[in-house]
Amino acid sequence: MNTELVIVYHRQPYEEVIENGETVLREPRSPNGILPSIKGFFRHVDKAVWVAWKKSPAGKPATFQRRITMDESFGAYDVVRLPLDAAQIHQFYHVVSKEALWPVLNSFPWLYSTENTHWATFREVNRLFAEAACEQAEEGAVVWIHDYNLWLVPAFVRQLRPDLKIAFLHHTPFPGPDVFNIMPWRDEILDSLLSCDMIGFHVPRYSQNFVAVAQGLRAGIVRHEAPVPEPIRTTGQGMSEPVVTNRLDYQGRSIMIDTWPIGTDPGAIAAIVNSEAGKARTAKVRSDLNAEILIVSVSRVDYAKGTRQQLDAFDRLLRRRPELIGRIKLLLVTVSAADGMEVYKAEQTKIEQMVGRINGHFGSMSWLPIMLSTTPLPFEEVVCAYRAADIAWITPLRDGLNLVAKEFVAAKQGESGVLVLSEFAGSAMELSDAVLANPFSRSSMDDAIDQALDLPEQERRARMQRLWAHVKKYDIAYWTRHVMDQFAGLTRISRTTSADAHKRAPDPDAAEQGEPQRLSGQT
């Protein structure tokens, strides 16, 4: 059953739950933002498949069906499940990805460690993903690989199936050369990425960082730049860039560098919060938390998310403005990491200790300043919490994009509210009406939360309405159209020569109207 679009992402796109003693597959109740974003593409291709891992006993044949069909709200699609044993998963994901690669991606080199890594296992798992993808792809199909865990897949795909078009999308930050180059595997990773026909990033800074790495490590690379498109162009922020690379020429090939951020689904979020059940949930959040001023912060346990810096700022706020004691509450949802993620256990302990100290110092029998949840909440509850909140406080130290910020805006639907956003979140390049903060600066964090609390009502509403207009315009459907148009053009771009390279970046509004191009018949 060959396929014209093969999506390669390590996570299965569903949950496995036990009901009445049987394993049942269902849509995730608390979906990772990547999953619904990618699954939307199944509506726009004739044949597609998702390749992911599934845990299997070591040294034994897989006891599960390798290929299954899912039928859910995104339509019917197939999933090919790659059997990996516990040791492979531990090395591939828990050790190499999280202890070595993740600190580098987020530019925290002092946390980088290769002490426990076994790179050969990481390489072997990437090879297995590549083989599974190649087995599913029809001639000339697009293989779309997602995220740094699968950095080596493109090289294996290129070796196995030179007829295929290879696209890679980074959902994470990408570091500059001085950080990326500390890795002993830098050449292997770079050569694999240069095997792609298209490499995607969410914001210009990360595209430019990648190109700087490539030109520093390889001679003969020619880059072609254009002004950053207006909807993601900023000046004077921590990640502002005036130009962005849209193509590299290398060894007789052209590699598209695509830079555009994922959007959210405002229509789906509006349907949730505007429903009778949604209105009841929203009212219950306000009633249960019983706060005059409600701040919400949603992330996962990860040092890159800046939760401890945020808690420090909240502590300082209560000390600086004691009139807020008893009136304000922080709903802090920071989801615990999965089992086996040793690197995050210490971080969660520190967060819990800080919450306990702040609640113990400022709290009373009738009021606690922080409500902490470390368990994943259903998406319906999360967006209703956004709707109920006065302020969303989203201040990661690094983030490839951060869809939470956009989901908050979508849930508010132009009503009064304030988004406090780190200037090092990728979405800060778009959401210029947020109150921006530098999470590495105490004074900036203090000023931002003070400004959010003190903004006049009229300005709160005006900012949210402008944010709402942007999020509605550049939504998930817009991003899907953009990417599908890029896929359809891969054959044309691969034949482009440097003589006609100096073109402006495509107008982002050009893709706004009409349906995305389908892949059928394009390759």
Tell me what the mean pLDDT of segment 417-439 comes to: 98
What per-residue confidence (pLDDT) applies to 492? 56
Tell me which of 27 and 331 has the higher pLDDT.
331
Q: Does pLDDT of 159 surpass 90?
A: yes
Q: How confident is the model at residue 65 (pLDDT cuts 50, 70, 90)?
A: confident
Contact 81, 10 (CB under 8 A): no
Residue 328 to residue 170: CA distance in whole angstroms: 37
Q: Does pLDDT of 319 surpass 80?
A: yes
Sorted by sequence, the CB contacts under 8 Å of residue 354 that are 6+ apart come out as: 308, 311, 312, 315
Q: How confident is the model at residue 2 (pLDDT cuts 50, 70, 90)?
A: low
Contact 143, 157 (CB under 8 A): yes
What per-residue confidence (pLDDT) applies to 108? 97
Tell me what the mean pLDDT of segment 318-341 comes to: 93
Question: Could you report the per-residue pLDDT of 95-112, keeping only the tens digit for each?
Answer: 999 999 999 999 999 999
What per-residue confidence (pLDDT) applies to 502? 39
Report percent pLDDT > 70 for the chain. 92
Question: Could you report the per-residue pLDDT of 382-426, keeping only the tens digit for each?
Answer: 999 999 999 999 999 999 999 999 999 999 999 999 999 999 999
Q: How confident is the model at residue 260 (pLDDT cuts 50, 70, 90)?
A: very high
Distances, alpha carbon 278 to alpha carbons 148, 266, 409, 456, in Å: 36, 15, 16, 27
Q: Does pLDDT of 505 surpass 50?
A: no
Mean pLDDT check: name the lowest of 176-185, 347-356, 482-491, 493-502.
Answer: 493-502
Q: Does pLDDT of 516 surpass 60?
A: no
Most confident of 25-34, 58-67, 347-356: 347-356
Question: Could you report the per-residue pLDDT of 9-62, keeping only the tens digit for each?
Answer: 999 888 887 777 777 788 877 666 788 888 888 877 778 899 999 988 777 777
Neighbours of 121 (CB within 10 A): 17
The pLDDT mean for the chain works out to: 91
Which pTM value belongs to this model? 0.92
What per-residue confidence (pLDDT) applies to 81? 94
Tokens representing 238 are 């921590």
Could you write out the DSSP letters of every residue in 146-208? ESGGGTTHHHHHHHH-TTSEEEEE--S----HHHHTTSTTHHHHHHHHTT-SEEEESSHHHHH
What per-residue confidence (pLDDT) applies to 491? 61
What per-residue confidence (pLDDT) applies to 32? 63
Distances, alpha carbon 172 to alpha carbons 103, 144, 151, 191, 428, in Å: 11, 16, 12, 19, 14
Q: How confident is the model at residue 511 (pLDDT cuts 50, 70, 90)?
A: very low
Mean pLDDT check: name the lowest of 85-94, 331-340, 373-382.
Answer: 331-340
397 φ/ψ angles, rounded to the nearest 5 degrees: -70, -35
Residue 388 to residue 329: CA distance in whole angstroms: 12
Residue 428 to residue 402: CA distance in whole angstroms: 9
Q: Which of 379, 9, 429, 423 is nearest to 204 (CA)?
A: 429
Amino acid at 283: A
Could you write out the DSSP letters of every residue in 409-451? HHHHTTSS-EEEEETTBGGGGT-TTSEEE-TT-HHHHHHHHHH
Contact 204, 232 (CB under 8 A): yes
What per-residue confidence (pLDDT) applies to 139? 93
Which segments within 11-99 are labelled E, that is strand?
15-19, 22-26, 48-55, 67-72, 75-84
Tell me what the mean pLDDT of segment 327-343 comes to: 88
Tell me what the mean pLDDT of segment 506-519 comes to: 49
Residue 302 to residue 299: CA distance in whole angstroms: 8
What per-residue confidence (pLDDT) applies to 506? 46
Q: How confident is the model at residue 495 (pLDDT cuts 50, 70, 90)?
A: very low
Write out the H or E segment, with its range, that includes residue 139.
strand 137-146
Mean pLDDT check: name the lowest of 61-75, 266-280, 328-342, 509-523.
Answer: 509-523
Could you write out the DSSP letters of every residue in 503-515? -PPPPGGGGSSSP
- Residue environment code for 494-503, b if the CB has 16+ CB neighbours within 10 A, otherwise e: eebeeeebee
Residue 481 to residue 514: CA distance in whole angstroms: 9
